[in-house]
Structure 1
Amino acid sequence: MPEAIITAEGLGIRFVRNRRRQLRLRELVIHRGVRRAEAGRFWPLRDVSFQVMPGDTVGVIGRNGTGKSTLLRLIAGVLIPDEGRITVRGAVAPLLELSAGFSNDLTGRENLHLVGALHGLSPAYLRRHCDEIVDFAGEQVARAIDTPVRHYSSGMKVRLGFAIISRLPHPILLMDEVTAVGDAEFRRKCYATIDGLLAEGRTLVLVSHNENDLTRFCNRGLYLDGGRLTVDGTVHEALDAYHAAVPR
C-alpha cells in the first residue's frame, strides 16, 4: 500500500475573536477577566482526522464558517495547529489567495519572477516561459504586464497568480474557489489546466460551493459541520450530508 501524502491526526486550531484581548493583562489577573478572555476564543476546527492518498481528489464541503479554508491553510503550512498534527509528504501548490505575495510597486512582469521564485521556479524557467504565463493570464494582463500591479483589478491579479502557480511541479494542489473568478473563457482555461494536472497524477484538495466543480474534479468528499469532520466518503455522500443540513 502507498503511504498517505496528507495525514491529519486530532487536528485542531483555536482563534481569538478579538485579538486585542491578548494584550489585556488585567484579564489574566482578575478572576472574571479570565472567563471573559476564554469566551473570546473559538475552535474553527477540532478533532479532525483523515488521510489523503497520492492521486486522491478530495472536495471539502460545508457551510460558511465551518473551517474549510482554515483546513487548506493548515495543509499548506500557513497556519500551525494548536492540537494534533498535520503531516504533508510533498510540496504544495497553493491555489488559495492568488494575489498573495504580489508587491504593488512592482510591475506584473517583476511580480511574475518574484512570486515564481518564491515558490521554487528557477530564473531560467521563468525567463523561458514568461510569455506563455502572461498569455495564459489573458489579453488585459498582457497589455499591463509592465505596469505596477497597484493599477490592476483584483481579477487581473488572480489571473496572473493562477497562471504562475499552475506552473508549479508540486504533487499536491490546494484550491479554494479559484474557478469562481474570471470570465467564461478564463474559467475554461482553468478547467483544462486542472484536468491536465490531475491527469499527471497530482493530488487535489478542493474547497468549493460549486457542486459541478466538486463532482467534476473530486472522487471523495469531506463534510465539515461546526468544525468537526462528520462525513468522510464519496463526494456524493458528503454533498448529501450538506443538503440535509442546509434546507433548499
Structure 2
Amino acid sequence: MMRSPIVAGNWKMNKTVEEAVEFVNQIKNHLPNPDVQETVLAAPTIALVPMVKAAAGTPLKIAAENCYYQDAGAFTGETSPTTLYSAGIHHVILGHSERRKLFNETDHLINLKVHAALDAGLCPIVCCDETMGRRVAGKKVHWVVSRILADLKDLKPENVDKVTIAYEPSWAIGTGESMDPDQAEEGCYLIRQTIADMYGDTIANNVRILYGGSVNSDNINQLMASQDIDGVLAGGASLDPQSFLKLVNH
C-alpha cells in the first residue's frame, strides 16, 4: 500500500502576519508535486487566511495549530472547525504535547476535537508522545497505545484514514536530540498495529504516521526510509524558508 508522504511544519507561536505571507511567497514555487508528496504549514490562527490567499494555486496546504470541538457559541478565544474549513484550511493539529502539558488538554477533549474536525471536513493531525522518563527507564514505547485508543475512540471506520498521526516523543521536541530511527519506527509501527486492532489492517495501512522531534535535513532521509514513517512534523526547522525547503525537497 503506497501512502502519500507528508512534510509538515509547525510554527507554534511564531511569526507576524507579514512574515508568514513572505515565507509562503518564498517557498510556494519550489515545492514537490502534490501527487508525490504533500507539503503542509501550520501557523498561528491570525495568519491563516492571508497565508491561504498567498498559497492559492500552489501545492502548499495551510493548517491550523488547534481548534475547538464546537462549531459556534460562547467560547471566547477558541476557533471553530467549520470556520477554519470555510477559510480554506485543510489540516488541523490536535493534541500536541504543548497543548497537553501547558493547557491541560486531556485525551477526552482531544477525542471530541477529532470528531468535530472530521465533521467539519478537516483532516486532523493527531499528536501522541512518550516521556523521557519512560525512555530512560528502558521501557519501550507501548505507552502510546492508550493514547491512540483514547484519541481515536468511536470514530467511524470510513473517517479513520482521514486522520494523520504524529508520533512526537516530548523529550525530543525542540531539544536537538532526535529519536534513533529504529526507535521512531518502533513507535510508528506500534501505532499502526493499534489502529489495526481497532479498525482492521486495511484502514491501518491507509493511515499516514509522521515522526516529529528535532527533525532536520540531516536525519529526514533516514527517518522517512522507515516502513511505517510516512513523513515528518518539524518545528524549529520549519521556521526558516531555506531550512524548510531542504526538508521538503529531501
Structure-1-length-normalised TM-score: 0.36
Could you say which structure has the greater relative contact order, defined with CA pairs below 8 angstroms and 6 or more residues apart? Answer: 1
User: Considering only CA atoms, is the larger Rg found in Structure 1 or Structure 2?
Assistant: 1
Structure-2-length-normalised TM-score: 0.36
